[in-house]
Structure 1
């Protein structure tokens, strides 16, 4: 039995696949492309705002721009007044260029370049300071107004983290901020935490509230904390995910490639997106006392969150054209017109697991004519066909999918493979014009009075 992991049903996405638009766009571009759906982004952003409102907590949502380079999402943030999390000068310039106000930006990252700090300070952005050294560089900036900062705490639950300051360093940083007077406005604390578990976030958030109270004794403002991102996306059902993990093994992959369950993103999450934020707000730090939401309200502390993937759930997919198919013993190799650089999980010794959708260009019953070597095994033209998916480069390791996908028919040249729900980190994190192949364009699809309309995503020239 073929190993499958179907994505959650998505009628809106299915309507786009069935409408013929993707075939027209593939013909127009002559290569792979991504499509993005800003309306889905809007819905996800609204869900996070509702979670904050329901808890009675004052908060602000910052879109983690690193999750997708499309201008369309930043434009939506500018239009509705949402924040944007940037980590470099290019991202800062992009956000400002698309209308995001400086005061709606939070600047993260480890040791920030001098130019980034200078522009961020001049624009009134909030800077997450990662070290005492960085704080000194901020204090040396010449600006007409106080520089807004958060002090980032090292997460004790993740001793291997390279981010943040320990308790002694934070004490020194607070004293330095207090001594700096009007040169700096210390607005609170933040942390960078890997993974998706609720408990470590709740515990550390509770600690940051106590730090805010401590900082106020020194005369510092300290009225907000940032708990970053780490809100999971639920790609597939629990039933399909558990069945996949239980069944998968080397025989399911080209060249018997081996994956352990720890190599994979958790494609099913029982608590995801805005519901994960609700879970954080409802939990009690360190398992005692009032829930986090009540502690935030009582202390007058604002909650900042920086979701990336969770705001992009359902907000885009990636489309590749089939360039060729070859048969191997018991399965095939489909080669598409792009590379695995446009499906980033494969470049982290992992695999993007939701099943791609095959859009055929014609009836499946004629597909045996496309197979010069004749049937493989007992397959017929319209029978299930198992195949991995390779990229167009000359690298043996360039596979978009190592797994032998159970396609409903043998793909042929001109068909399309649509990888669903790739907007969050997948579609452009590692893209490169390798082999002088152009980067896949992004198409923005809008729905207006029952009609789908599209345009190219345009980004300002660098």
Structure 2
């Protein structure tokens, strides 16, 4: 899927937005394997590259090491349900962030140690808290009544519970998550009172958006809160700053041109989107570099070192950057006066942005079943259901030639939140399987993603 300077698109086509070049994936996609898998599996599928996940985890760890900061990376499991990521976390000692009993069971079943799991989310169920306490998980407490629930479970199983107190971000006071100033003060007093059953290890927060400076500012506040909590006899030696590390999908020039030139005429049926609803598909500071920016702002790294505070991170999408793509087979093409409508063998439920009043913008790549010559062809992409709204790509994408039945469309870099957040077997269409690729020894081998209960 190498990117070359694109000629001017047909008048009806949207401005191009190719994903960053990925020579390793290009080699895999150009070798015939996608067509073989499409034939074998009989429908759409997702490709997963676990070595990319490992490399992304390593890049975050390196950023912590460079700053001389003690830290731990927790993979936010909600970003992708594949068992492959749990297998890698278990083998490498990477932490996992879960928010339900099912996610916790899945992590533990794959060998992730309980002490390497952080349990987040609001109003956690009794059963989830019980298992979390028994397994020694770190629990991010979101409310005062939840703290009482944790205390009750710890007493019931006669094991101390490890907790973080989740801070309501002052800059986002309308968030439904976290403890405000008064609640935080009450929670600290309760933790001090219940030290036999609760080990208060520190504080956490989650911020919307991807800006680095506000994360550093709030993290610095949490460091000070740790120091105050220690005066109360509490451990308070770590803080979690959650996720929100952007992924850079496309080059700045392509992204700026897309935002500048896109208009309703570039979309099927004159569909329009608010650009504010688009994910920022170009980010000049992304992934581990975003962590470096957080550590550099407000002297955060120095404050963490001086206070002896460990920094916890919960990235999801950023650990899945370039770690997967989604492949659909073309079932039919119809002309609609200046552009085409391509129908593929799946649905937009496999591209979650479409279900958030937005559009997944990195351009799909055409893999023809046979060599073909033709003029550039603009087309939108629809799913195989009977819903008008089932559009994988509303915009009219410029393809190098008219797609044909049997061709494949590859949507790049979909592992982060896209490929299974909203999938369902609507119309009794089977869920796309996940195919794990292994290229470690110079060969490309594949297997279906495993599940511990399968």
* Bin of the TM-score, shorter chain as denominator length: over 0.9
Q: Which among 338, 344, 350 is matched to residue 346 of structure 2?
A: 338
Deviations 1:172-223 (A, max 9, x none): 0000010012101000000111110011111110110111011111100000
Report the counterpart of residue 378 of structure 1 in structure 2.
Answer: none
Off by >2 Å, runs of 4+ in structure 1: none
Deviation, structure 1 residue 16: 1.0
Which structure 2 residues correspond to residues 113-152 of structure 1 after superposition, within 5 A?
113-141=125-153, 142-152=156-166
Deviation, structure 1 residue 460: 2.4
Report the counterpart of residue 193 of structure 1 in structure 2.
Answer: 207
Q: Which among 66, 72, 93 is matched to residue 81 of structure 1?
A: 93
Judge which range, 307-316 or 442-451, deviates more: 442-451
- Say whether 1:457 aligns with 2:449: yes
Distance 1:334 1:175 in 2: 61
Deviation, structure 1 residue 125: 0.1
Distance 2:335 2:173 in 1: 48
Distance 1:9 1:426 in 2: 20
Report the counterpart of residue 427 of structure 1 in structure 2.
Answer: 419
What runs of 5+ residues in structure 1 fail to find an aligned partner?
Answer: 285-290, 366-381
TM-score, length-scaled by structure 1: 0.94
Deviation, structure 1 residue 364: 1.5
Deviation, structure 1 residue 363: 2.2
Q: Number of residue pairs matched?
A: 440
Report the counterpart of residue 401 of structure 1 in structure 2.
Answer: 393
Distance 2:361 2:325 in 1: 14
Report the counterpart of residue 256 of structure 1 in structure 2.
Answer: 270
Which structure 2 residues correspond to residues 327-366 of structure 1 after superposition, within 5 A?
327-365=335-373
Report the counterpart of residue 46 of structure 1 in structure 2.
Answer: 58
Report the counterpart of residue 324 of structure 1 in structure 2.
Answer: 332
Distance 1:448 1:298 in 2: 41
Task: Find the residue that maps to 1:19 and give its secondary structure.
Answer: coil
Deviation, structure 1 residue 159: 2.1
Which structure 2 residues correspond to residues 2-41 of structure 1 after superposition, within 5 A?
2=13, 3-41=15-53
Task: Find the residue that maps to 2:157 and give its secondary structure.
Answer: coil
Task: Find the residue that maps to 1:435 and give its secondary structure.
Answer: helix
Report the counterpart of residue 183 of structure 1 in structure 2.
Answer: 197
Task: Find the residue that maps to 2:52 and give its secondary structure.
Answer: helix
Distance 1:12 1:436 in 2: 35
Distance 1:265 1:55 in 2: 29
TM-score, length-scaled by structure 2: 0.96
Report the counterpart of residue 221 of structure 1 in structure 2.
Answer: 235
Task: Find the residue that maps to 1:34 and give its secondary structure.
Answer: strand
Distance 1:24 1:383 in 2: 27
Distance 2:38 2:158 in 1: 51
What runs of 5+ residues in structure 2 fail to find an aligned partner?
Answer: 1-8
Which structure 2 residues correspond to residues 272-421 of structure 1 after superposition, within 5 A?
272-284=286-298, 291-365=299-373, 382-421=374-413
Report the counterpart of residue 259 of structure 2 in structure 1.
Answer: 245
Deviations 1:35-61 (A, max 9, x none): 100000000000000000000000000
Distance 1:26 1:181 in 2: 57
Deviation, structure 1 residue 448: 3.4
